[in-house]
Structure 1
Amino acid sequence: MTRCPPLYALALAAALALPLAAQAQQAPPPAGQRTFPEAAQRGTLKIMNGTSAELNGKPIRLAPGLRIFTPQNALVFAHTLAGKSLKVNYVIEASTGMLHTAWILTEAEAKQPRKGSGATVTNIRTGT
């Protein structure tokens, strides 16, 4: 029985791994800049207690696995923010309608337009 020489096996393994390595080489965001999912919207969050909050002035329940990130991208517990009004990007859990993830924004991040921010984001022109 003949076997593949080790050189062929290495070449085959390298050829199979090349597409995976190319896919994994996505450029990271610049230092200090966070990226948010496309589904994230902008709003004002006010935590009432451990299970409820107001999002843009409307009541919303907090998901059991709620993650709130500070501007430094550290996790913070919801009860430590009780009573504070915060400018956030947020994601609502589709199946339950509960608040799933929120990012407390820096001033620079809050100036960037995003859905729900009240800023006009469109590519439609009127007139000539």
Structure 2
Amino acid sequence: MKRCTPALTSKTSRALAIAGLAALLCAAAPAQAQQVPGGMGEMRNFPDASLRGNLTVLAGSQATLNGNPIRMAPGMRLFSPQNTLVMLHTVQGQTFKVNYLVENSTGMLLSAWILTEGEAAQARKGSDTIQFNFRTESDPLKK
């Protein structure tokens, strides 16, 4: 025996349309929340104390920062341009342009962020310019 489905009333069809629209809106919201920083011109926010430099990860807890040896802190975190953690052993021997933080009490490298081209183009205090908080008589005068 065949059964017929009842005809949809206008109230039922409106309720289904609203439910479908709500489902579409709910499905789109998580996708927007998962956008990756560094893509489509988005810039990450770095701590004000972070500096700019070139980081080369060596074996173990050793690295070079702007050509000078530096030890990495035991909890050192290296972030990719997508802001995900990078395992240090996977990038040994590679050099990256980074923003970095050095731990004040130990002088060890605490955090570093591998920069995108857009982030690297922004001016930041670091290896490109040497700044001192004092002057001597032998310093050339700058106008």
TM-score (norm 1): 0.68
Q: Which runs of 5+ in 1 are unaligned?
A: 1-28
Instruction: Pick the structure with more strand per residue.
Output: 1
Match of 1:22 in 2: none
Correspondence 1:65 to 2:70: no
What count of residue pairs does the alignment treat as equivalent? 95
CA deviation string 1:21-64 (max 9, x = no partner) = xxxxxxxx9x8320001110000000011210000000000100
Output the aligned Cα RMSD.
2.3
Output the CA distance in 1 between the equivalents of 2:67 and 2:127: 14
Q: Percent identity?
A: 55
Which runs of no fewer than 5 residues in structure 2 stay unpaired?
Answer: 1-36, 132-141
1:77 deviation in Å? 1.2
Shift of 1:78: 1.2
Select the structure of larger CA radius of gyration. 2
SS of the residue corresponding to residue 89 of structure 2 reads helix
- Matched ranges for 1:23-38 at <5 A: 32-38=42-48
Pairs within 5 Å for 1:79-98: 79-98=89-108
Q: Which runs of 4+ in 1 moved over 6 A?
A: none
Does the C-alpha gap of structure 1 residues 74 and 80 become closer, same or farther in structure 2, counting only changes over 3 Å?
A: same
| Secondary structure of 2:90 counterpart | helix
> 2:55 maps to what in 1?
45
